[in-house]
Amino acid sequence: MARTKRSFGTIRRLPSKMYQASYIGPDMARHNAPGTFTARADAEGWIALERRLIEWDEWMPPAQRRAKQLHDDTQTLRTYADTWLPERTAVRGLKPKTVSEYQRYLDRLIYPTLGDMRLKDITPAAVRAWIGKLNARTPRINEHAYALLKTIFATAVQDELLDRNPCRERMRKPVRHIGEPATLDELALLVAAMPERLRLMIELAAWCALRFGEVAELRRGDVDLTSGVIRVSRAVQWVDGKKIVAAPKADSVRVVAFPPHIREAIKEHLRKHAQWGKDGLLFPTTHGEQYRAPTFHHAYFRKAREAAGRPDLRFHDLRHTGATLAAASGATLAELMQRLGHSTVSAALAYQHAAQGSDKRIAAQLSELVAAAASRGFT
């Protein structure tokens, strides 16, 4: 059994491949996690949470803490969820944006109706009544709030605070909106209507199927003109007014081949508009920072899409445009998953053996589509 020494706490890998976490508490006794963990990161999260409780002077032995919780019949959903969220963040490593969204669902949708009810008093009927009060015009938000509530109650069941989860409804999943992709003509008009220093932003979003936060965070060191690829390893986002640079959504770090027909545009942009140095931003604002999506939309993108005759076009639809064009080039589903960075666990297992070299073939065929359209007089 491998044991890893740390400045605080110990993580041991068991013969079962599970991880066991423990630490020496302020009482100088060793305290073990209530269970084992399938991932090392989860064990580290539990230790981090226990250390935080000690630093905040809110610590008591885990066994005593759990026993107190089990016998607390007055605990409301609000008090339980307010503890559940930081624990979940520490154990699962939730991203700041996810934590912010969870807190917003709790504050705006869940707490006003169910927050002050005792856990044991929240019945399936109470949950159904709560669902009935949700705004029917926001089905996706409702679905996410319900999923959060169901997860919180599932943890309460594991903690033996409840016998059964009162969330027993099966909410119909709303149809995901996929915007109409831009045509080659519309894409050309959109690019032409943008300021010169931002035209490549549109082309990379479309031809490489990148998200806004991924494009806004691109730096010189991410562009490899020799190999013809863009390395997507970070994305920028603002959470509660604070800028955060982290791994892309769903940790979809990837290398994307760009179509040869935009190589010269990339070289010209690097020469004229990108910040200098390996860490220089490709698309800096006048203040030298990354663009915020609302600012970019209102100042530039809205006018450009009007000029292109597509007032309905969202920036994210450019990513859908790239996926559609890649599919038209003959890309397989596995190749599309790799190119787009769709990296759920099941997808990663199913498509991890997709050929790496095929992405460059896709990129080359994208340029062939442009050439063919130009020969027919469409661009």
> Where in the sequence numbering do the catalytic residues fall?
211, 316, 319, 342, 351
Using CA atoms, how far residue 114 sits from 106, 135, 267, in Å, is: 10, 16, 57
CA atoms of 268 and 197, how far apart (whole Å) = 10
Residues 117 and 74: their CA atoms lie apart, in Å, by 9
User: Are 257 and 251 in contact, with CB atoms under 8 Å apart?
Assistant: no
Q: How far apart are CA 325 and CA 352, in angstroms?
A: 22
Phi, psi of 110 (to 5 degrees): -95, -50
- Reference 17, options 39, 45, 32; nearest CA is 39
Pairing of strands 235-239, 229-232: unpaired
> Which secondary structure element, helix H or strand E, spans residue 232, and what is its range?
strand 229-232
Q: Which of 181, 186, 180, 184 is nearest to 372 (CA)?
A: 184
Nearest Cα to 106, choosing from 75, 84, 139? 84
Cβ(21)–Cβ(43) below 8 Å: yes
